Amino acid sequence: MSTRGVVVRVPAKINLQLAVGPLGSDGFHEVTSVFQAISLFDDVTLKFAPDNSGIKLTLSGPTSNGVPVDDENLAVRAAKLMADKFDLSTDLAIHLKKEIPVAGGMAGGSADAAGIIVAMDALFEIGLSRDEMEIIAAQLGSDVPFGISGGIAIGRGRGDQLTPALTRGNYHWVLALSGQGLSTPAVYQECDRLREGLDVASPLVSDPMMQALRAGDATALGLALSNDLQAAACSLRPALRLVLDVGKDYGALGGIVSGSGPTVAFLVEDEEKSMDLTVALSSSGVVAGVVRASGPVHGARVIQSI
Ligand code: ATP
């Protein structure tokens, strides 16, 4: 029997480093980002649907509240892009089981778009390489290619020109979630406002970061975490400073706002420490939820054929 549908599992990302260059004349910033894919996933199910039914999107999962189900959804946009490119039917049923926080700086929407590209490739037996899928992904948004590659990678340009990084080690993270998301464009605007009149350097990957990753040294990685958007995210959401303080007081190896926030990611030594910090954060009253995860993990891949 031929395949009627596929399920693709796709990870969230955190930025171990996010260096943001000056605002360009095109309104965008050149960035350099070190991404790590972590074990917090959305599951994207794609099935053939009856003729002329069009694309139908349904949602479930703890973070699906308020996510759009129309063309605003990046998964729908990814399906349409793939259909256009390869002349495929858009009679499709998409289901997103969401665990990745929405507007949390963890690229949840981008992950779903990456999941759809992999799912369309499998369902229609297109046979694209990972590199080809990443090129298509870049048309949908700067974080989408990394959803396909996973692992640890350096992103340049708008973050979408990826180079995989050779690294060692498995890292334990505790994620402090916020009840309300932050808009990525608003955080970039605030970053520009805070840096007005300052000389902003071109964004470069930090040497201590790459040394830490090559050595698999979690302590050194904790010290090397950096995010040029953190001040802006904290300025828009001052409570994030309290969250960062809880992790620091507890003795996390490092803590950082992920991407444009408001999720805060804490690096800890091991599973036991991650349990302890989870309890400390949960009882602090300054976070809406706590999730434990580890990384790096694979990018989007088919976990089931239906
Ligand atoms: P990034 O880290 O890439 O800046 P983010 O994690 O902060 O992204 P997303 O979770 O991708 O943000 O959501 C940003 C907005 O995109 C949401 O407010 C939502 O309205 C919209 N959106 C579109 N498609 C999706 C999707 N599949 N899942 C979640 N949000 C989506």
Question: DSSP states of the chain as a string?
Answer: ----EEEEEEEEEEEEEEEEEEEPTTS-EEEEEEEEEEEEEEEEEEEE--TT--EEEEEESTT-TT---STTSHHHHHHHHHHHHHT----EEEEEE--SPTTSSS-HHHHHHHHHHHHHHHHTT----HHHHHHHHHTT-TTHHHHHHBSEEEEETTTTEEEE------EEEEEEEPSS---HHHHHHHHHHHHTTSPPPPP---HHHHHHHHHT-HHHHHHH-EETTHHHHHHH-THHHHHHHHHHHHT-SEEEE-TTSS-EEEEESSHHHHHHHHHHHHHHSS-SEEEEEEE--B-SEEEEE-
**Residue 57 forms part of a structural domain:** yes
Q: Please tell me whether residues 61 and 118 are part of one structural domain.
A: yes
Residue nearest to atom 26 of ligand 1 (CA): 109
Does position 41 have pLDDT exceeding 50, yes or no? Answer: yes
For ligand 1, say whether the CB of 191 is within 6 Å of any of its atoms. no
**Residue 38 forms part of a structural domain:** yes
Return the pLDDT at 1. Answer: 46
Residue nearest to atom 30 of ligand 1 (CA): 109
Active-site position among 43, 112, 143, 160? 143
143 is catalytic: yes
Mean pLDDT of the chain: 95
**Residue 304 forms part of a structural domain:** no
Q: Please tell me whether residues 187 and 109 are part of one structural domain.
A: no
**Residue 302 forms part of a structural domain:** no
State pLDDT tens for residues 134-173. Answer: 999 999 999 999 999 999 999 999 888 999 998 999 999 9
Looking up residue 130, the CATH number of its domain turns out to be 3.30.230.10
**Residue 306 forms part of a structural domain:** no
Query: How many distinct structural domains can be found in the chain?
Result: 2
**Residue 85 forms part of a structural domain:** yes
State pLDDT tens for residues 51-96. Answer: 999 999 999 999 999 999 999 999 999 999 999 999 999 999 999 9
To the nearest whole percent, how much of the chain has pLDDT over 90? 92
For ligand 1, say whether the CB of 5 is within 6 Å of any of its atoms. no
Q: Please tell me whether residues 87 and 100 are part of one structural domain.
A: yes
Domain end among 143, 166, 189: 166
**Residue 70 forms part of a structural domain:** yes
- Which of 74, 140, 291 has the most ligand 1 atoms within 8 A of CB, as the residue to mutate? 74
User: Could you tell me the residue range of the domain that residue 17 belongs to?
Assistant: 5-166
Q: Please tell me whether residues 143 and 9 are part of one structural domain.
A: yes
